[in-house]
Amino acid sequence: METLAKNPKKDKDSSKLEISMRPIPYLPHTNEDRKEMFDFLGIKSMDDLLKSIPEELRSFELNIPDGKSEIEITEEFRKLSNKNVSLAEQISFCGGGVYHRYIPSVVNEIISKGEFYTAYTPYQPEVSQGTLQAIYEFQSLVCNLTGMDAANASVYDGSTAVVEAALMACRITKRKKILVAKNINPEAIQVCKTYSWGLNLELEFMDFENGVIDLEKLKLHIDEETACFVISYPNFAGCIEPVSKIAEIVHSKGALLVSNVDLINLAVLKSPKESGIDIAAGDGQSLGNFSNYGGPHVGFISCLKDSVRQLPGRIVGLTKDIEGKRAFTLTLQTREQHIRREHATSNICTNQSLNALAVLVYLAYMGPQGLKKIAEISLNRAHYLAEKLTKDIKNCKLAFNAPFFSEFVLEIPISASKLIAILSKENILPGLDLNEIDGYKTNQVLVSVTEINNMEQINYFVERLKKLFS
């Protein structure tokens, strides 16, 4: 294979560049090809080519079976897939950031359209108006639910969204200390540790009491060096924090309040803006996206108008074209692909446009009343289940007395891992084992209820635990 290569040497008699033909090496398929490549590289053997790789890493054989036909491969994958057990075949009370909710068929019908399914970054607005409008509407609905003035066109997931929101606060306040509540999602805590280490930021964690933040201890921990306090609303344990009171304490020190929020719950709860939250971030997985092996996810960040220039990721704006017609375009482009890397608001801000579109279709289809009904069903059934478990089974109790929404921490007479091992054999997933998460106990399990969990499932779960612990 040959290609044109520009020679930067200038001709003595002219300013033209010389254009020469030279061979470019490619993947060798025959011994002759291999020799040609070796000669080009100035080496004698494949060992010379791979000498930078340690011997122990290249002295092994790949156990790869012989090639198969399409029919045989299809059958092989069918057998593998049959080992999986889908949530449709189980009773699941798992949550903690990934939720099994009903997805209307219209969601997949729309996001599977080729113009959406294969679209990438809409850098050319003149040929991407449909994609840009969809993203703009996603931003608009996020703003409607959070009460904020602006939202970005999604980021990777909820955990990175929360951390990016905290970094926004550091840039806005010009402070380097981040205070994080220990009762937010543990995945977000891990990402906070990674980011703060890489950026030389000071990271402190705040313990919780009875499931929520202790206001008196918060007053002692937060100071004039703190850029923000990061909470979750509701938190990882499902409890509802006294957000307005927390906001007063945080703002008294000139810091910002950053909160992870759930868009479905906001159909019932007071909006982040009304509660005093400065930057609201979260994950849209539960709105139109399946819980496939823990994903896919789509993070979002929303903020007040004064902070919009610090929003990471893409932002779609509404404007007018030269004919005065409505038009959409990427605006305030502060990603590392658009400006100098050191000035970018974020260097890791993968955009989940397809998943954001699923959120948009879900919200548009449900509407305000539908979304509120979904939230109320989850809320009411969770409280019904918690009451049945604690009243009908003497060895079960709630770990915390704080108000909760649709998730709660259940304390049981055996380890959570043992309970999960027993019930999973019966296709019942009782919740998440909290054993290895800081602040929780071995015998505590996080139970989540959605509209998928009907009353028959809930009552069966109660009866099963009653027999197990009697």
Per residue in 343-387, pLDDT tens?
A: 767 766 566 889 999 999 999 999 999 999 999 999 999 999 999
| Residue 7 parent element (H or E) | strand 2-10
Average pLDDT over residues 286-304: 91
* Residue in 166, 141, 163, 162 with CA at minimum distance from that of residue 153: 141
Q: 98 is written with which tokens?
A: 């990934």
* Residue in 338, 330, 297 with CA at minimum distance from that of residue 314: 330
pLDDT at 276 over 60: yes
Q: 255 is written with which tokens?
A: 């810091």
Average pLDDT over residues 242-251: 98
Distance CA 23, CA 40 (A): 9
Respond yes or no on whether the N-terminal peptide bond of residue 430 is cis (omega within 30° of 0). Answer: no
Give residue 18's pLDDT.
46
* Residue in 355, 349, 260, 233 with CA at minimum distance from that of residue 298: 355
- Name residue 381's amino acid: R
Residue that is written with structure tokens 């809930």 in the block: 458
The values of phi and psi at residue 151, to 5°, are -145, 155
Distances (CA, A) of 19 to 40, 229, 267: 20, 60, 65
* Residue in 432, 415, 428, 414 with CA at minimum distance from that of residue 460: 428
Do the Cβ atoms of 159 and 170 come closer than 8 Å? no
Do the Cβ atoms of 407 and 299 come closer than 8 Å? no
Which position has the higher pLDDT, 193 or 153? 193
Q: Which of 24-38, 224-238, 279-293, 321-335 has the lowest mean pLDDT?
A: 24-38
CA 302 to chain centre: 15
- In the chain, % of residues over pLDDT 90: 71
List 229's β-bridge partners, or say none: 179, 257
Q: How confident is the model at residue 3 (pLDDT cuts 50, 70, 90)?
A: very low
Distance CA 241, CA 292 (A): 30
Distance CA 208, CA 120 (A): 42
Distance CA 176, CA 160 (A): 18
List 301's β-bridge partners, or say none: 281
Distance CA 130, CA 199 (A): 37
CA 324 to chain centre: 38
Distance CA 210, CA 378 (A): 22
- Domains of the chain with bracketed CATH: 2-58 (no CATH), 88-100+369-469 (3.90.1150.10), 105-362 (3.40.640.10)
Distance CA 133, CA 332 (A): 16
Q: How confident is the model at residue 12 (pLDDT cuts 50, 70, 90)?
A: very low
pTM for this predicted structure: 0.83
Which position has the higher pLDDT, 275 or 293? 275
The number of residues in the chain equals 470
Do the Cβ atoms of 213 and 246 come closer than 8 Å? yes
Distance CA 151, CA 144 (A): 10
Per residue in 181-237, pLDDT tens?
A: 999 999 999 999 999 998 999 999 999 999 999 999 999 999 999 999 999 999 999
